[in-house]
C-alpha cells in the first residue's frame, strides 16, 4: 500500500494513494458536471491524476485554499463526494469506479469499500476547511 502526503501551508495529512486517487477522480467528475466555476482546479487535478505515481498526487491545495471563494467551492464539491459515497452504502459499484477513474494502471476487481473512501474524503475536507486564508 502506498501513501501520499498532502500539505496545506503547515498542515499535512497522509492518505492511502488509491483512496485519494479515487476521491480526486470523483471530485473532478463532479466539477466537470456541476461546477464549471472550478475549471482551473479541475484542469489541474485532472493533469495531476494523469501524472500521478504511487505516493505522488499534487493537488496544489495550498494554492487553491488560499482563496476563500475557491476553498468554499472546493469544500462544497468534497461534501458532494461524501454524500455520493454515503448513498452507495457499503461498497462503491464497480461500474461507477470504471466510469469515473480512467487512470492507466488502476484496475478494479470488484466493488470498493466505501469506508476507505469516506475516511479519505473526510480527511481531505478537514485539511481544506482548516487551511488559513491568504492575507489580502
Residue tagged 485539511 (cell numbers) = 127
Question: What is the pLDDT, as a whole number, of residue 1?
Answer: 66
User: Average pLDDT for residues 120-129, to the nearest whole number?
Assistant: 96
Residue 135 CA, chain-centre distance (Å), reads 25
The C-alpha cell of 109 is what?
A: 476487481
Query: Quick one: what percent of the chain has pLDDT higher than 90?
Result: 80
Give domain status of residue 134, yes or no: no
pTM of the model: 0.93
Give domain status of residue 108, yes or no: yes
pLDDT digits (tens, 9 = 90+) for 10-38: 899 999 999 999 999 999 999 999 999 99
Range of the domain at 75: 3-129
Compute φ and ψ for 16, nearest 5 degrees: -65, 130
pLDDT digits (tens, 9 = 90+) for 37-59: 999 999 999 999 999 998 999 99
Number of structural domains in the chain: 1
Amino acid at each position: 500500500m502506498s501513501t501520499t502526503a498532502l500539505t496545506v501551508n503547515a498542515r499535512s495529512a497522509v492518505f492511502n494513494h488509491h483512496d485519494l486517487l479515487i476521491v480526486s477522480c470523483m471530485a473532478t467528475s463532479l466539477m466537470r458536471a456541476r461546477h464549471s466555476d472550478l475549471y482551473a482546479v479541475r484542469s489541474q487535478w485532472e493533469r495531476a491524476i494523469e501524472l500521478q505515481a504511487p505516493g505522488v498526487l499534487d493537488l496544489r491545495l495550498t494554492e487553491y485554499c488560499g482563496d476563500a471563494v475557491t476553498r468554499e467551492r472546493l469544500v462544497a464539491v468534497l461534501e458532494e463526494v461524501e454524500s455520493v459515497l454515503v448513498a452507495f452504502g457499503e461498497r462503491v459499484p464497480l461500474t461507477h469506479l470504471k466510469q469515473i477513474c480512467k487512470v492507466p494502471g488502476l484496475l478494479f476487481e470488484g466493488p470498493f469499500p466505501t469506508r476507505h473512501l469516506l475516511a479519505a474524503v473526510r480527511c481531505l475536507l478537514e485539511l481544506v476547511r482548516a487551511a488559513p486564508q491568504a492575507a489580502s
